[in-house]
Structure 1
Amino acid sequence: MGDSQHVEIMSSDEHRARYGAGREPSALSMEQIGELFQEFLMAVARPKRRDGDGSRDLSERLREHLGSTPGDRPVVKAAYPPYDLPNVHLALERWFEGAGRSYELVGMRGAQHHGELTLGDILEAADRYDRFTVGAVDYAQLPVSPDAELACVSCGFYLGAEGDERFAVLLRGPQDEYGRDKVEIEVLAGEKEFADRLLAEIDILVRELNIFRGQVLSFEGSEFGHGLGPFRFHRRPGLTRDDIVLPDGLLERVERQVVGVARRRARLLAAGQHLRRGLLLYGPPGTGKTHTLRYLLSHLPEFTVVVLSGTSIDAIGPACALARMLQPALVVLEDCDLIAEARDHGGGEQPLLFQILNEMDGLGDDADVAFLLTTNRADLLEPALAQRPGRVDLAVEIPLPDADGRARLLDLYGSGLGLGKEITDEVVARTEGTTASFTRELVRRSVLIAAEREAPRTEAEDVRAALDELLSDHDRLTRRLLGVPGAEDVEDVEDCQGDDDFE
């Protein structure tokens, strides 16, 4: 076979020890013959290295560190969701900062599909077939906020020490290509009790150092393996009351339900009152439901926020689990009519609806978690959403702006244009029944028309031209999308009174 390979062949003594004395190879069963042939192929494909190259021998490296054969020690493991890799990485780093602790980090290479193998499988393959070798540590560059990333160990051995105790920790992140959809920690230690204690302390640190705490997150619904998989970080909005145009008294009611409970949590708990609550904002598209939610987020900076919309509402389970762990928290369900339709409209039972209701009901009375829901079709919502406190305690209609509201919106969005009272009154009179989204688009298009004619500023004629375009029959679809009455029925667009997401 050449000088570069050395193949171990089973001796007659080894044969008798494994298969029994007095048995000749010809008497072996087909299963035993297959096993021997598989070992032969592995020995040829993964031959043992010659002396002098032991520095890359994974089994030998672990044996030197542990002071015993790795396979003789118990292995204890814990698993986390795939998006928790940064949290587990940070928890391990912090744990090893404890007094009397140290570690050396080494990688593993030379094997494909190791995501399907346990640590025990890896140790056996490394020892018997030299299938795994010491190599570079694998890292994944992952976002931990809207503006920061962290290099996280995605596959590496921590050769650790705590006093006289020697142990090894294998950390592996999700690997779509190898069928691994979770984060796993496996601890190889002399005593199972030590491994159990290590993993329990890591779990505490995962919660304490959680990068999602106080963040605004949304589930993207994408496959795991790209960044944090289903999560996207958003900058927390910074809206003030001046940015909100709603009928008098409406914003105060909404604030009391969400912000007021958060600020008075201690007194409410002392009085035996629960903190979990639900708020439903309903009304035509474009009236400002999402904008109002963004205002609430601006005034709850310590809250963890998980936003679900469209198909990502399927992730209600993980979202609520995250909210429970990282209280105080908000779970935002946008366009909930898409899944929470009344059963007589939805054509039968709605499993996802029931899951949402169960998640709401499953929170304890002291859970500081609020559910914020929006819908364009309150008439289609399942009545069970409002049947008991803690589901939906307050439903508020966000109506079309009246004349005073339209004037305030024009002033808000066109504050830098210097529009006079005459053109403002004209716009207000001609835009009865339109939405906040319409006013915003009117201002943007007015500025664009002025820019196209190379004018130094936007004039009243630009506003009139833009208004004529938006109200014309040629822009009927645009009119419908912006909430103008009388346009043809087409599919509604996402609600906004400003930006249509949480950026």
Structure 2
Amino acid sequence: MGGMTPEDAVAFGSTFTEFMDYVRTIAPAKPSSLVARLTDHLGQPPDKLPVVTSPFPVYQHANLQVAIDAYLAVEGRTHDLVGAAGPGREHFTFAEIIASSGVRGMYGLGTADYISVPVGIDAEMACVSFGIFLIGDGDSRFAVLLRYSTQRGPQPRCELDVLAPDTGTARRFLAEIQDLIRKHNLLRGQVISFEPHEFGHGVGPLSFHRRPQIDAADVILPPGTLDLIHRQVLGVAEHRDRLLAAGHHLKRGVLLFGPPGTGKTHTVRHLMGRLPGATVVVLTGLGLGAVREACALARQVTPALVVLEDVDLVAEERMPGGHQNPLLFQVLNEMDGVAGDADVAFLLTTNRVDLIEPALAQRPGRVDVAVEVPRPDEDGRRLLLDLYGRNLKLTGAEVDELVTATAGATASLFSELARRAELLAAVAGEPTATAAQTRAALAELQASAAALTRSEHRA
């Protein structure tokens, strides 16, 4: 309105007043069917009442539905579920819908909408995506809009809009819903990850995974290493009552460090299987930015294991240009924010321990134990060849030869060595893979590694 004169402003105001008078003349003579239903339930016009809104991440949609169902199941409470008929209703707040219905009659009474929400591997649940719960609790009457929306933000989300005679009633309802989400959380005991995904079992940024089962005998580490990890991660969970009675905290952190391919992730997967009742929350790569959401969830669904893979991606003190790393401080704050009596274990992995900020890696209560997962020694390579090459036809002398030839190799090489030898035998029409195919497979792997090394040097 930069070039508008006072006379123009007066003319505009007059025209606008005339327009609003016209809108009132064409407005419905009586409230819409939706407003009438709300008025009948509440005992007063809804446009005079406050609305308290509480947003929820989209992955809590099913938990929100379960919590509302549990709330309504309490003896003495009554409810009815209705919807709103009209275009684009899921994109507007409860207050906006009421205003549109009262002035323009835009929304009338309708039925609730539902969507199917993933709640686990091969499991889904029907949840209200747009519905108004007309709730009675003793003498109290209020209305709750549950709305799933893809608008007004980078991620879809769910919202509860509570329309009540006073904000205290709304806040008490929302507090009870939060308590019921913690009590009935469908994510408890599952293996989940925060990561961008388009396919597979997931909702929003959350994906569901099957719990891996890897025997301790299949985790090849230096003697005593796995026992140390077990004691810190599993032992605290097993003896939680005794530790709490003695005044000790349960929160703990373990850092696994070593070169790529030495078995850090393999060890993590083994621990997941050894904690069958724990909720496992995994963050890696781009998912590390969701550490706040992951830790908030872990606090709700204890016992929990929070896995931060390749934590060096966010755990450098300084970023390029000398700026402080905001994700590092977020990780530190979230680890510190978990109560000491919460059965939450943090398991961190890194290929570059030299990049880890000491405030993360050298402070008890964040990381209590740092464990090196090195390249396997001779005994380790023999065990790995036996583990992954159980179907290879090798003599004792040939095993000795391969163990010597793989000096300096990582654990991951032996899995690929056995697979490639089996493939070479199959292509050649041989019934079993022998030392000839195994030597050829090792030569191919070593040639590939050498080519990559030369390329890195040239770069």
Per the normalisation by structure 1, the TM-score is 0.80
Corresponding residue for residue 429 of structure 2: 454
Corresponding residue for residue 321 of structure 1: 296
Corresponding residue for residue 497 of structure 1: none
2:36 to 51, 60, 63: 60
Is residue 200 from structure 1 mapped to residue 148 from structure 2 by the alignment?
no
Residues 90 and 147, structure 2, Cα contact 8 Å, conserved in 1: no
Residues 476 and 488, structure 1, Cα contact 8 Å, conserved in 2: no
Indicate how the Cα distance of structure 1 residues 202 and 307 shifts in structure 2: closer, same or farther if over 3 A, else same: same
Distance 2:25 2:187 in 1: 47
Question: Where in structure 2 are the equivalents of 1:169-318 lying within 5 Å?
Answer: 169-176=144-151, 181-190=156-165, 193-221=168-196, 228-318=203-293
Deviations 1:336-373 (A, max 9, x none): 11221254988342222122122222333323222211
Indicate how the Cα distance of structure 1 residues 79 and 343 shifts in structure 2: closer, same or farther if over 3 A, else same: closer
Distance 2:280 2:24 in 1: 51
Indicate how the Cα distance of structure 1 residues 242 and 179 shifts in structure 2: closer, same or farther if over 3 A, else same: closer
Is residue 75 from structure 1 mapped to residue 57 from structure 2 by the alignment?
no
Indicate how the Cα distance of structure 1 residues 357 and 39 shifts in structure 2: closer, same or farther if over 3 A, else same: farther
Distance 1:429 1:42 in 2: 91
The secondary structure found in structure 2 opposite 1:173 is: strand
Q: CA deviation at 1:43?
A: 8.0
Distance 1:185 1:337 in 2: 38
Distance 2:202 2:129 in 1: 12
Is residue 30 from structure 1 mapped to residue 30 from structure 2 by the alignment?
no
Indicate how the Cα distance of structure 1 residues 394 and 126 shifts in structure 2: closer, same or farther if over 3 A, else same: same
* Counterpart code for 1:467: L
Q: CA deviation at 1:167?
A: 3.5
Q: CA deviation at 1:186?
A: 2.1
* Farther off after superposition, 434-443 or 263-272: 263-272
Residues 317 and 324, structure 2, Cα contact 8 Å, conserved in 1: no
Deviations 1:214-236 (A, max 9, x none): 2222111469xx95211111111
Indicate how the Cα distance of structure 1 residues 80 and 408 shifts in structure 2: closer, same or farther if over 3 A, else same: same
Indicate how the Cα distance of structure 1 residues 429 and 71 shifts in structure 2: closer, same or farther if over 3 A, else same: same
The secondary structure found in structure 2 opposite 1:254 is: helix
Residues 393 and 432, structure 2, Cα contact 8 Å, conserved in 1: no
* Farther off after superposition, 33-42 or 64-73: 33-42
- Count the aligned residue pairs: 448
Question: Where in structure 2 are the equivalents of 1:428-447 lying within 5 Å?
Answer: 428-447=403-422
* Farther off after superposition, 206-215 or 421-430: 421-430
Residues 202 and 208, structure 2, Cα contact 8 Å, conserved in 1: no
Distance 2:213 2:101 in 1: 55
Greater radius of gyration (CA): 1
Q: CA deviation at 1:107?
A: 2.2
Unmatched segments (≥5 aa) in structure 2: 1-8
* Counterpart code for 1:30: F
Is residue 405 from structure 1 mapped to residue 356 from structure 2 by the alignment?
no
Corresponding residue for residue 3 of structure 2: none
Distance 2:50 2:13 in 1: 29
* Counterpart code for 1:339: V
Indicate how the Cα distance of structure 1 residues 75 and 108 shifts in structure 2: closer, same or farther if over 3 A, else same: same
Corresponding residue for residue 130 of structure 1: 105
Residues 141 and 150, structure 1, Cα contact 8 Å, conserved in 2: yes
Residues 283 and 397, structure 1, Cα contact 8 Å, conserved in 2: yes
Corresponding residue for residue 120 of structure 2: 145
Q: CA deviation at 1:136?
A: 4.0
The secondary structure found in structure 2 opposite 1:171 is: strand
Distance 2:414 2:105 in 1: 70
Distance 2:214 2:236 in 1: 20
The secondary structure found in structure 1 opposite 2:339 is: coil
Per the normalisation by structure 2, the TM-score is 0.87
Distance 2:121 2:282 in 1: 15
Indicate how the Cα distance of structure 1 residues 266 and 125 shifts in structure 2: closer, same or farther if over 3 A, else same: same
* Counterpart code for 2:430: A
Residues 211 and 272, structure 2, Cα contact 8 Å, conserved in 1: yes
Q: CA deviation at 1:259?
A: 1.0
Q: CA deviation at 1:96?
A: 1.5
Q: CA deviation at 1:451?
A: 2.0
Indicate how the Cα distance of structure 1 residues 426 and 175 shifts in structure 2: closer, same or farther if over 3 A, else same: same
Corresponding residue for residue 88 of structure 1: 64
Unmatched segments (≥5 aa) in structure 1: 1-26, 481-485, 491-503
The secondary structure found in structure 1 opposite 2:445 is: helix
* Counterpart code for 2:86: G
The secondary structure found in structure 2 opposite 1:105 is: strand
Deviations 1:381-424 (A, max 9, x none): 11222342112111111011112211211221222445443432
Is residue 393 from structure 1 mapped to residue 368 from structure 2 by the alignment?
yes
Indicate how the Cα distance of structure 1 residues 39 and 177 shifts in structure 2: closer, same or farther if over 3 A, else same: farther
2:335 to 360, 364, 382: 360
* Counterpart code for 2:366: R
* Percent of residue pairs bearing the same amino acid type: 49
Deviations 1:316-337 (A, max 9, x none): 2222222222222222111111
